[in-house]
Structure 1
């Protein structure tokens, strides 16, 4: 939709501003690169056209909406001062497109205005439509930024990909424990293979270190051993393991096949220090462990008959209005039972008792609102789940090597003519005998044979996006190629690549489908849905997030990383690891450019960080990550930095970045650097760099970007301030200014024909200022998607070039060996043994 505002001071038609002024004498077309809104004048009436919002773009046929604002004179305001009077409406337009990639511009020709809507000036609607059409008759060509349109198109495709999927909701085994406990998952019946020491075998289809010697099973955690005659236990401590066991364990850890949890969480250390062993639960089928710190303690939720267990990080409720029935939220799915012992059954989110939707937004349990259909929090989660992470890949620098466990072994992808390779850590898809495609770290590659050579794909066959949710490779359908220009390929992915799926109008984790893993010399498993404490949450400051618990405070030891989890690469060769996050960027593996809009959410005790959160802090044994997603405190013992969050401060010690979003504070007493809620402030507590911005900015150890007014400075110099856009890449040391960027065009055309204004999280009708701000879910979703598209496009425009991702092949940095799954951020979606490529 186009938004047009008419006003007396607008430029004349002959100025050529916004519309192409016609071909120059040399045949070239002058490109108007001014930001929207753009001003015009027809028959003495001034009006403005705001940035078009994409409706569809098929081939060279584009449809869009835009806001038109017309200047109707002046009036005297309540303060006695003269103010401009405006009529706002929307235009539906259609046009042919011609793309100039060198100029990063799209020429809209044959432009037609199909209809107009001026709800607050219906009597003038026909006249305003004639006004706009007359402008088109004079200059029937409009130019737009290719970056802006590509961003909008990416989000449209993500919305389509985010449509509801068919998932399975069979209840996992839900194990309640009131004592310290660990959960060890085995992918089916245990498969034993020689472990490199005489008489010792290892269960290869588990990431836990499970050995067998002399008819007994042994498990090792943080250097402590226990044994049992069967996987069902009971498990008893082993004080001194023999040399063969120690050797087998060392080989498995060094080979990145297992994680023996060399640095267990403090709660588990305390258990061992007391001479005790936690309860061990080994499961070969889907299971979820809910640990409670002692006997359950309950608290009521105001305005409802619900109560919840306060001494667990899990989401466990009891409904007094329904015979005190129990409800738990696991992987975004609801299950209920008469009591904690079950039997558990799935409850469709739309069938929950009405009291769940009444949970107050400021409740300690407000996070579950994201999993209750119809709530604003659930709507936000659907939108956030549809927004892609994008990048530009250099085909000359991105390479891929694929190794197989023997000769390539392909199996049919049910419901499609496609096949996939079962015996490789990379998702390889066979389209036909001469066309193969693979995904690695969010980038598509293609080859003429299963063994390569592989090159970055400039397009992907549409049939690949028909892979159903019941397939173990469904997650690749959330990775896209948006276009290419020479050696540059524009790519992106949505959170579905991490395992999220839209079902029953909420976002859930995992599809719930099981598959048969590959077990040969190596183990390559299937995507998991349960067992890692997948958590969805929402609050007013952080918004929608999801992550993994893997061990609430009392020492739950789950799998080392999700069996589906492409961002958890092994220690080698990529040398990267992470925790739960609000927005990850897999493309960080390919280079070191930071762009606004991504924010990791959790802290890491390996760097000295410790923390607890009122919401239910968690510890991730796979990565050593601790997190606070609600009110809480996190302190870095090495730097002295303390972050206190009242509903949402985000701190990522891997990057040293603190983002203050509201009601929170972060302070480093050694440097005096601090961030307070309510300010657009980013603090790097490792380097001391502080960035403040109006309009938005982000800074990490490898660079930063922003648009609007900004001020950035650090203890070692490198100050910069000003207005406009900037993009800083620490790899090259360049600070690029993109000139003045108009980030204030906050007028949008709604799908309902009304014009809306966005202000600090709120939408209001411009066409009816006194109307209620309560928008329908569909209207708000459309407006939010358009806003995200506009902001993403402005980010790219501000840098005057797409974000380039150079792709090194060597890793570095701190990492834990989290083997036992497909590496490389491509096949990581499936569990399995790690192998160097």
Structure 2
């Protein structure tokens, strides 16, 4: 018997407004209801997500439900600080009700009605739902990153690595009003015949920059005045927070490095404990990720997402690919003290989720009439060619400025600008330069290939950037930090650093991405007095990674709480769009997806008329709102049924019973599913369950940084 499903939907007379719990229930006149189960994302292209969802339709209170699957496209508006994404301008692309065997005309009417109603829903999902359920389709095309090991120094006492980008460059600094070592993120100044180093809450003195640093408690007058400024700066940064300093309780020894170097350390001679269920030992008196493989007796250390091994902690070290590690690493249990390394072990769920998370952009809309930027050069603009491309890059500015045959492009805080002149005026770009995707990682401009232009209207350009812009790169089956290449800084009357990979003990966690190690505590860098930002040491001028949030299990249970307080990141918001005027994030209201015209397929284009199809001239309202239903005024309640119904790619519907078994909807009843179907559904169920656990943990974790943030106009 055929059920006129579309007739049931036409009875929907009550407004609905979707909410963030699954499944969701839409009331139908006469006591019926439509239940929509948690969406199952299938693919992500730029900021466009394609997903399916199981649905059930009940005509009235006594009728049998009819189950089916709908497919939708939506635009993703992300807030990576809160780990949430809004699905906006939803478009239903297909629907199947296999048990009803509805004819094409009925399905067409069903789709038409859903297309009318669905765009009015406001659906917010957690990014953890997205990363754990999205089927990974990332191509493992490794860019030629530099994986040569840095100098790895081991110490068994409190030590701090002070990084210099080459030999000391000492110049007058107008802000501190004395000579300063410009090519270091640390504050090193010259007063008389001595140099003074500020490292968090401690001052050191030495007669030379590269060695001989000793802690000093008595400061000369100029340094004392500077110290007062630094303390005020730190107090201001900590105001209104509950953050605790993770830094040293006593002055650490200072090690100065002028080439790529990493410091690993233990509290006294290294001691080891067993990693449960494996043949691995981990160094239990170190905050670094140090392991010993019992079988080979080799030592392994994880730095910046890359593994290195040696016969002892004193080296020599060699690079080990994530998929070439001993099999024991993949057996590290989630919830154990060192499970944080699982994101860097090929084949683990944590690694797959990290790779997928790196594909999700932070999105924004840019006002075409108001947004602009200013580029400052040290002298006349100077450009050098980028190997393998038709582009050149400016070398004497802190802004990434590219030149091609059509003009000039600048990237500032995740926004593309264009101009006919290297000095401006600058306006938002509607397309990227042609060869930007060909920029090699050996070039300082490599990170801007991860800033995208998705779409445009006469009023706005829709842009976004993925974590590659801030130095987090997919490398085969895992993530790494930095390209590994030592870029050449600009040294003139000004000093402009370039992104560095080594020297800061970068660790990955699923909430804030890569973050500093414990040695780089709050206040360790004194950027408020330099460069007008963070200088460019980690990519964009106004970006710095957050501090490592805590040391303990990352998966399987909630974050570690110390002294009843979470370790947060002091006053840092890493949504770079909040640094840019006339740019709005998570406040985007665009026209229908059907009028987009192919912007996602070619990230260089922004739907100019004739570019890829529809173009902006076909967009309803040119700025949004045309498809929204103004009558939708209240939320649909969460359905009082388990979130245990799934749809597969063929439109079949399955339900998980209380015993963990699977049944398929056939002939208006649940019947045992085949073994092949059960295997796939078990994987889908595990992904959904994992997404719930990660989302819960993420909400418990009171973060202060990591890529998203508040709105700003």
Q: Please classify the TM superposition score into its range, dividing by the shorter chain length.
A: 0.5 to 0.7
| Helix, strand or coil at the partner of 2:147 | coil
Q: Is the 8 A contact 1:184 1:559 kept in 2?
A: no
2:475 aligns with 503
Q: Is the 8 A contact 2:151 2:261 kept in 1?
A: yes
Distance in 2, matches of 1:69 and 1:216, equals 73
Match of 1:284 among 236, 239, 258: 258
* Alpha-carbon shift at residue 11 of structure 1 (Å): 4.7
1:716 aligns with none
| Helix, strand or coil at the partner of 1:477 | helix
CA RMSD of aligned residues (A): 5.7
Distance in 2, matches of 1:384 and 1:394, equals 27
* Alpha-carbon shift at residue 356 of structure 1 (Å): 0.8
Distance in 1, matches of 2:474 and 2:422, equals 32
Q: Is the 8 A contact 1:359 1:369 kept in 2?
A: yes
Match of 2:635 among 735, 740, 746: 740
Match of 1:298 among 248, 252, 272: 272
* Alpha-carbon shift at residue 394 of structure 1 (Å): 3.2
Match of 2:382 among 409, 420, 435: 409
Q: For residues 674-701 of structure 1, give each alpha carbon's deviation from its aligned partner in whole angstroms, at most 9, with x where no partner exists.
A: xxxxxxxxxxxxxxxxxxxxxxxxxxxx
Distance in 2, matches of 1:413 and 1:200, equals 37
Distance in 2, matches of 1:423 and 1:765, equals 65
- 1:366 has 2:361 as partner: no
2:519 aligns with 551
Matches within 5 A, 1:681-720: none
Matches within 5 A, 1:718-797: 739-741=634-636, 749-751=647-649, 755=653
Change (3 A) 1:286 1:38: same
Q: Is the 8 A contact 1:7 1:48 kept in 2?
A: no
- 1:202 has 2:174 as partner: no
Change (3 A) 1:179 1:737: farther
Distance in 2, matches of 1:400 and 1:746, equals 50
1:476 aligns with 448
2:288 aligns with 314
Deviates more, 1:480-489 or 1:558-567: 558-567
- 1:189 has 2:160 as partner: no
Distance in 2, matches of 1:506 and 1:296, equals 28
Q: Is the 8 A contact 1:216 1:227 kept in 2?
A: yes
Distance in 1, matches of 2:389 and 2:288, equals 39
Distance in 2, matches of 1:409 and 1:547, equals 33
2:459 aligns with 487
Task: State how many pairs are aligned.
Answer: 584
Change (3 A) 1:178 1:11: same
Q: Is the 8 A contact 1:532 1:550 kept in 2?
A: no
TM-score, normalization: structure 2? 0.65
1:339 aligns with 312
Q: For residues 133-174 of structure 1, give each alpha carbon's deviation from its aligned partner in whole angstroms, at most 9, with x where no partner exists.
A: 23256688562666999999x999997699653322110111
- 1:514 has 2:486 as partner: yes
Change (3 A) 1:655 1:10: farther
* Alpha-carbon shift at residue 414 of structure 1 (Å): 2.2
2:605 aligns with none
* Alpha-carbon shift at residue 784 of structure 1 (Å): 11
* Alpha-carbon shift at residue 488 of structure 1 (Å): 3.1
Match of 2:418 among 424, 435, 446: 446
TM-score, normalization: structure 1? 0.57
Q: Is the 8 A contact 2:187 2:526 kept in 1?
A: no
Q: Is the 8 A contact 2:72 2:91 kept in 1?
A: no
More strand by share: 1
Distance in 2, matches of 1:412 and 1:316, equals 41
Q: Is the 8 A contact 2:56 2:66 kept in 1?
A: yes
Distance in 2, matches of 1:425 and 1:492, equals 21
Q: For residues 397-444 of structure 1, give each alpha carbon's deviation from its aligned partner in whole angstroms, at most 9, with x where no partner exists.
A: 43311111111111222222112221112212223353x222222222
Q: For residues 322-381 of structure 1, give each alpha carbon's deviation from its aligned partner in whole angstroms, at most 9, with x where no partner exists.
A: 1x2100010011100000000000111111111111111121011111111111111121
Change (3 A) 1:535 1:66: closer
Distance in 1, matches of 2:505 and 2:289, equals 10
Distance in 1, matches of 2:217 and 2:227, equals 17
Q: For residues 234-255 of structure 1, give each alpha carbon's deviation from its aligned partner in whole angstroms, at most 9, with x where no partner exists.
A: 43456766667778x789989x
Q: Is the 8 A contact 2:6 2:109 kept in 1?
A: no
Match of 1:227 among 200, 206, 215: 206
Distance in 1, matches of 2:365 and 2:685, equals 30
| Helix, strand or coil at the partner of 2:250 | helix
Distance in 1, matches of 2:345 and 2:413, equals 32
Q: Is the 8 A contact 2:6 2:107 kept in 1?
A: no
| Helix, strand or coil at the partner of 1:340 | coil
2:10 aligns with 15
Q: Is the 8 A contact 1:750 1:779 kept in 2?
A: no
Distance in 2, matches of 1:57 and 1:354, equals 31
Change (3 A) 1:251 1:317: same
| Helix, strand or coil at the partner of 2:435 | helix
- 1:466 has 2:438 as partner: yes
Q: For residues 786-835 of structure 1, give each alpha carbon's deviation from its aligned partner in whole angstroms, at most 9, with x where no partner exists.
A: 99xxxxxxxxxxxxxxx99543xxxxxxxxxxxxxxxxxxxxxxxxxxxx
Match of 1:134 among 82, 105, 109: 105
Structure 2 spans left out of the alignment, 5+ residues = 19-23, 74-87, 528-533, 574-583, 588-630, 666-671, 693-708
Distance in 1, matches of 2:686 and 2:367, equals 33
Structure 1 spans left out of the alignment, 5+ residues = 1-5, 19-31, 41-45, 75-80, 95-103, 119-123, 273-277, 571-576, 582-601, 603-611, 617-628, 636-641, 644-648, 657-701, 706-735, 788-802, 808-837
Distance in 2, matches of 1:763 and 1:411, equals 63
- 1:171 has 2:166 as partner: no
Greater length-normalized contact order (CA 8 Å, ≥ 6 residues apart): 2
* Alpha-carbon shift at residue 300 of structure 1 (Å): 0.8
Q: Is the 8 A contact 1:186 1:285 kept in 2?
A: yes
* Alpha-carbon shift at residue 533 of structure 1 (Å): 1.5
Distance in 2, matches of 1:199 and 1:419, equals 36
Distance in 2, matches of 1:785 and 1:166, equals 33
Distance in 2, matches of 1:763 and 1:440, equals 53
Deviates more, 1:476-485 or 1:193-202: 193-202
Q: For residues 648-681 of structure 1, give each alpha carbon's deviation from its aligned partner in whole angstroms, at most 9, with x where no partner exists.
A: x68566499xxxxxxxxxxxxxxxxxxxxxxxxx
